[in-house]
Amino acid sequence: MIGRSGAASDVRPDGARAWWKEAVIYEIYPRSFKDQNGDGIGDIPGIIDKLPYIRDLGADTIWLAPIFQSPNRDNGYDISDYKAIMPEFGTMSDFDRLMARASALGIRIILDLVVNHTSDQHPWFQKSRASKDSPYRDYYIWRDSAHGHPPNNWPSAWGGSAWTFEQSAGSSYLHLFSRYQPDLNWDNPAVREEVFSIMKFWLDKGVSGFRMDAITMISKMPSFRDMSPEELKAPEYVYAAGPHLHDYLREMNDRVLSHYDVMTVGEAYGMRAQDIPLFTDSARRELDMVFAFDIVHVDRQGWRKVAWPLSKLKEIYAAAGRPSSPDSWNTVFLDNHDQPRAVSRFGNDTPPFREASAKAIATMLLTQCGTPFIYQGEELGMTNLPFDGLDDFEDVQVPIEWDAKVKRQGVDPEAFFESLKGLGRDNARSPMQWDTTRNAGFTTAHKPWYRVNPNYTEINAQDCLQKPDSVYHHFRDLIAVRRKYPALVHGAYQDLDPNHSAVFFYSRQLDKSKVLVLINMSDRGFTYESPLLATASLVISNMKHHGVAKGVTWLEPWEARVYAA
Binding site for Ca ion (CB under 5 A): 35, 37, 39, 41, 43
Q: 401 is in the binding site of which of ligand GLC, Ca ion, none (Cβ under 5 to 8 A by kind)?
A: none
Residue 117 or 474: the one with the smaller Cβ distance to ligand GLC is: 117
Q: Is 177 in the site for ligand GLC (CB under 6 A)?
A: yes
Q: Is 463 in the site for ligand GLC (CB under 6 A)?
A: no
List helix spans (H) across 240-341.
Answer: 245-255, 277-280, 310-321
Per partner kind, with CB cut-offs from 5 to 8 A, the member of Ca ion, ligand GLC, none near residue 43 is: Ca ion
Q: Is 293 in the site for ligand GLC (CB under 6 A)?
A: no
Residue pair 341/295 in contact by the 8 Å Cβ criterion: no
Give the start-end residues of each E strand in 29-91.
61-64, 68-69, 81-85
Residue 166 interacts, among Ca ion, ligand GLC, none and using kind-specific CB cut-offs from 5 to 8 Å, with: none
For residue 466, give the H/E element and its range: helix 461-466
Under rule CB under 6 A, residue 563 binds ligand GLC: no
Residue 213 or 559: the one with the smaller Cβ distance to ligand GLC is 213
Residue 258, number of CB atoms within 10 A of its CB = 15
Active site residue 267: yes
List 112's β-bridge partners, or say none.
Answer: 211
Check residue 289 and report its DSSP letter.
E
Least CB distance from residue 116 to ligand GLC, whole Å? 7
* Backbone angles phi and psi of 266, in degrees to 5: -100, 145
Residue-wise burial string across 27-53, b where 16 or more C-beta atoms lie within 10 A, e elsewhere: bbbbbbbbbbeeebbbbbbbbbebbeb
Which of ligand GLC, Ca ion, none binds 39 (CB below 5-8 Å, type-dependent)?
A: Ca ion
Shortest Å, Cβ 123 to Ca ion: 26
Cβ atoms 108, 59 nearer than 8 A: no
- CA 105 to chain CA centroid, Å, is 24
In the complex with ligand GLC, the residue whose CB is nearer, 119 or 520, is 119
Active site residue 96: no
Closer to ligand GLC by CB, 332 or 521: give it: 332
∠233-237-238 over CA atoms, to 5°?
90
Residue 338 or 401 with smaller CB distance to ligand GLC:
338
Q: Pick out residues in 56-75 that bind ligand GLC (CB under 6 A).
A: 74
User: Could you say which of Ca ion, ligand GLC, none residue 41 binds, taking C-beta under 5 to 8 angstroms by partner kind?
Assistant: Ca ion
Query: Which is catalytic among the residues 183, 213, 288, 299?
Result: 213
Q: Is 14 in the site for ligand GLC (CB under 6 A)?
A: no
Number of residues that bind ligand GLC (CB under 6 A): 9
Residue 332, contacted partner among Ca ion, ligand GLC, none, CB below 5-8 A by kind: none
Q: Alpha-carbon torsion 191, 194, 200, 202, what sign?
A: negative
If one asks whether residue 471 binds ligand GLC (CB under 6 A), the answer comes out as no
For the packed helices 189-203 and 245-255, what is the interaxial angle rounded to 10 degrees?
40
Catalytic residue among 267, 281, 288, 378: 267
Contacts of 533 (CB under 8 A, 6+ apart): 516, 518, 548, 551, 552, 553, 563
Q: Which residues bind ligand GLC (CB under 6 A)?
A: 74, 77, 114, 177, 213-214, 267, 337-338
Active centre residues (catalytic): 213, 267
